[in-house]
Structure 1
């Protein structure tokens, strides 16, 4: 099925690895030119080379979105070869500190990185979309925005802020042809998570077999209807759908891709 992304230009923040890389590679496979963003020039260039090797089109944007100057540099690089039709706000960080560990400085730092960085890119990219009469803004949120846990309260709060700002943006963009939506992943498997699971297995009694460890971890930590972790390409598929013309009538929404982890109507 052609999701009508050929000729579109998409900036995916934090796309030199992980979920952002999966999103960028899928959009490129669907015909979009993707701007790969990161702070590490070598990793960004390696991702661009991978996409081009596979027949896609990709460009480089280097910069730290936690500063205005870095966001300016990223926006300038992204817009150098043409207007941006699609902005996927994905860059951010996690923190596993608890209420007793997270200082006020930790709260300020993660809010700047996870929320204000999104705002910086919205302010620099969305205005030029209005002249196109069409655009997509996708924010990566998370289930902890809806059902926070007692741990990592500062991180949970940043996800909730992302969900909130995305809906506010959708209201602001009324009748412009630009939509604003959230993709809310559940727990997604990646090398860092797999390493943590292996290290924690003995503590929780999950055994030694990697597949058994993953299954038992799901049951104990993130019970869901699929009985497993999500995969980056499954989240990327949801992003690609919301970027497509088939999603013209979706705005201000949260698309949960969590295997049924979050139990709400």
Structure 2
């Protein structure tokens, strides 16, 4: 299937690792010129070189999206080689804290990074997409937006806000040729996920080998129809579809990539 991404330029925020890295690499593999974003030059440039080594086109934009100046720097760097046709708002963070430890400042900081940072990039890049009559905005959300856990409430709430703003943006872009959608991952096996479940697995009786720990961790935390964690490439594939001409009629939608998550763990 040809996704027709050649001659398109894509900025993937937070793409020096994890889901963002997988997305940047897949979009580049489909022919898009990708802008790799991060705050660490070494890591971002490493992803750029991996893409180039595979025959893809990539550049780097460095900056902290949690500030107006940092976001403006990223936008300028991303636009240096031409217009951005595709914006993947992936960057974000969370701390695993309880309600008691989630202070008002923690809420404000998490909201700024996970929500307002994406808004900053939308404001910088989407008006030109509207003027050109084509564009794609994909927001990476998450299942906790709909089925929040009792922990890290500040993070759960920002995911819900990300879902909400993406649909509101889609309504605002009606008739422009620009779409806005959400990809909502379940629990994805990135390095931090593996480290977490491996560290707590033995004490919770989940076993000692990775196969044992994964099966039991999934059953305890994220029971789903496939009995495993998702892979970053599976999220990237959903993003790539939404970027393509095949998704022209899809806007304001949320695509769940969670293995058929049955319930949240509490």
The normalised TM-score by structure 1 is 0.98
Q: Could you give the per-residue CA deviations for residues 145-178 of structure 1, whole angstroms, max 9, x where no partner exists?
A: 0111111110000000000000000000000000
SS at match of 2:139: strand
Q: Which residue of 2 aligns with 1:194?
A: 194
Aligned 8 A contact 1:184 1:257 in 2: yes
Q: Which residue of 2 aligns with 1:53?
A: 53
1:248 counterpart = 2:248: yes
1:121, distance to aligned residue in structure 2 (A)? 0.3
Q: Distance in 1 between matches of 2:8 and 2:190?
A: 29
1:195, distance to aligned residue in structure 2 (A)? 1.2
Where structure 1 has 5 or more consecutive residues not aligned to the other structure, the ranges are none
Q: Which residue of 1 aligns with 2:121?
A: 121
Q: Which residue of 1 aligns with 2:30?
A: 30
SS at match of 2:115: helix
Q: Distance in 2 between matches of 1:27 and 1:92?
A: 20
What number of residue pairs does the alignment pair up?
A: 263
Q: Which residue of 1 aligns with 2:70?
A: 70
CA RMSD of aligned residues (A): 0.8
Q: Which residue of 1 aligns with 2:205?
A: 205
SS at match of 2:96: coil
SS at match of 2:229: coil
Counting only pairs closer than 5 Å after superposition, residues 10-25 of structure 1 correspond to structure 2 as 10-25=10-25
Q: Distance in 2 between matches of 1:28 and 1:249?
A: 23
SS at match of 1:95: coil
Which segments of structure 1 move beyond 3 Å, counting only runs of 4 or more? none
Q: Distance in 2 between matches of 1:211 and 1:191?
A: 16
Q: Which residue of 1 aligns with 2:136?
A: 136
SS at match of 1:111: helix
Aligned 8 A contact 2:222 2:262 in 1: no
Aligned 8 A contact 1:186 1:261 in 2: yes
SS at match of 2:131: coil
The normalised TM-score by structure 2 is 0.98
Distance of aligned partners of 1:107 and 1:14 in 2 relative to their CA distance in 1, 3 Å threshold: same
